[in-house]
Amino acid sequence: MKKITLYIALIIGVLFILSATVSSPVQAQEAPTIPEVEESLDTVLARAAAKGFLTSLTRPELVSLRDFYLNEGVRVDGILTELGQITGYRINQAGWMVPDQTYQVQASLQPGGQQISVYTGKYNHRWKVDGVELVNGAAGGAAAGTQPVVAAGPQPVAGNGTGKLVFQTQSGGDIYVINADGTGLQRVTHGLDPELSPDGTQIVFTRWDPQYELFTINVDGTNERAWFSNKRQMKSPTWSADGTKIVFSYQDGGRLEGDLKTYSLSELGERAARGENPVRIPDNARGVEINENNQLQFFVPPDAHWWLAQIDLTKGEYRDLATGTRYNYAPSWHPTDPNKLIFRGDKGMAIYDAQAQVSQPVSHDDRDRGAIAISPDGSRIALTYYQDGNWEIHTMNIDGSDRRRLTETPLHVVANRHTENNEVFITPEGFRTMSRAQPDGMPMMRWNNAAPAWSPDGSQIAFMTDRTGQWEIWIMNADGSNQRPMFPNGALDGIQFNFAGVDERMISWR
């Protein structure tokens, strides 16, 4: 036996959650002798770290991601040279060498059947590959009792329901479609806030480069069509229930830049002596203090105005919607009523009746955020909520009653993490948001959970979460139970997500 041990420090968290198979051209197979038992989160993440490393050996397009598993200065050239080209692997055995401390995955590599052992340990609350062992004498063929690895695409995932998802990797990033069972992944285009049409055949989205523009495209990537342009920062397009109209938000007017205000204390005293009104400090002002020059100082953030507009696809007509507010974000059309849509204002959510041209408040909490999703039967809302310094997912009835929190970080996770200064700030576009989840070297106390999307039958919700150290698509029951990775089959391996908290629609499911 020839042992080569690498002590590796990952600079980000585990890239791959427990996978039964990995994407084409690789298929990872579990040994049939491994019993199915209820596993701890540490077991899942420890094994996922090993499998992520193995997958990086088999996927040429993931070479750049292999560095995520290696500490600076660590070289694996010798191992890669000895292994040659790897096209697949089969896991023969996996389990704890030292309970909750050292996890071992033994696998056969293809072609040739070379045996490899990968060891993982927990460092600073993250599971990392800290050893690799090559076993001589097995290169002539597959290990006894094993089956050859056959190259294949990701296998279907049971329990995800039906339909098709469209998702964006980040606001303005690549747009993909995938079947709910984790098969059929296809990159379609790039843009912002994609949404599937009611019949599931088209996608609506916007782009900001080279100009602000509204598009539709077929789910197979054909027939991309531009419908409208030249409204600033168009985003959050949404289909009417009958598929004939599209509503979107756009920015126009208001204060696009912040303003630093300073007043000398002597000036303020003179004002008071003259009986003049004192300086008004806005409610959203930040950094209120007396500076080193003995001045009252505070910063007034941007206050951009956002509006809603409608395109009639059958008539080619445009019109602005009079919602009664200058703050209109993240519209989402009612799935059964073509005259109603929900949107986020500056003081919570509201329902707009396009026929009556009036808005009615649904909630009065400015921490309610988009993208807002209405259940297929139109009875409930799912949304992102700013809570305890992070994002959570709430649901409520369409009238705002019966609010329920679906996601929450377990107390034992909070206790084992470091506190992070998760500063709230206003973006240049006027969005109230916060620093990105899990920045380098600053693990958050709590998980972020955001951007929900209902399944076609309303029984499940897909959402974004960073609980493993990176943003991933997970799924849960509509009551918040059974939260799990949506695509553990490796279908999205190598795709990186980023949720920025600017009311972006990450997922649409029909």
Residue for token pair 């190259």: 151
What separation in angstroms does the CA of 4 have from each of 11, 80, 132, 146? Answer: 22, 12, 6, 24
What pLDDT, on a 0 to 100 scale, did the predictor assign at position 98? 79
* Number of separate domains in the chain: 3
What pLDDT, on a 0 to 100 scale, did the predictor assign at position 346? 86
Tell me: do 345 and 432 sit in the same domain: yes
Tell me: do 189 and 328 sit in the same domain: yes
Residue 118 belongs to what domain range?
A: 28-135
Tell me: do 128 and 184 sit in the same domain: no
Q: Average pLDDT in the 419-424 region?
A: 47
What pLDDT, on a 0 to 100 scale, did the predictor assign at position 497? 96
Give the pLDDT band (50/70/90) at residue 10.
very low
Peptide bond connecting 338 to the previous residue in cis, omega within 30 degrees of 0 = no
Tell me: do 296 and 308 sit in the same domain: no
Tens-digit pLDDT profile for residues 226-252: 999 989 999 999 999 999 999 999 999
pTM summary value: 0.66
What pLDDT, on a 0 to 100 scale, did the predictor assign at position 93? 86
Tell me: do 489 and 418 sit in the same domain: yes
Residue 329's DSSP bridge partners are 344
Tell me: do 427 and 471 sit in the same domain: yes
Tens-digit pLDDT profile for residues 445-473: 789 999 999 999 999 999 999 999 899 99
Amino acid at 17: I
Tell me: do 380 and 285 sit in the same domain: no
| 35-44, 72-81, 142-151, 437-446: range with lowest mean pLDDT | 142-151
Q: Round to whole Å and give the CA distance between 288 and 297.
A: 6
Tell me: do 441 and 330 sit in the same domain: yes
Q: Which residues contact 428 (CB under 8 A, 6 or more apart)?
A: 256, 257, 302
What separation in angstroms does the CA of 185 have from each of 17, 19, 42, 198? Answer: 18, 16, 29, 20
Q: Average pLDDT in the 3-28 region?
A: 37
Which CATH number is 58's domain given?
3.10.450
* SS3 call for 312: strand
Tell me: do 448 and 344 sit in the same domain: yes
Query: Dihedral through CA 122, CA 415, CA 368, CA 479, nearest 10?
Result: 80
Amino acid at 35: P
What pLDDT, on a 0 to 100 scale, did the predictor assign at position 69? 65
Tell me: do 67 and 195 sit in the same domain: no
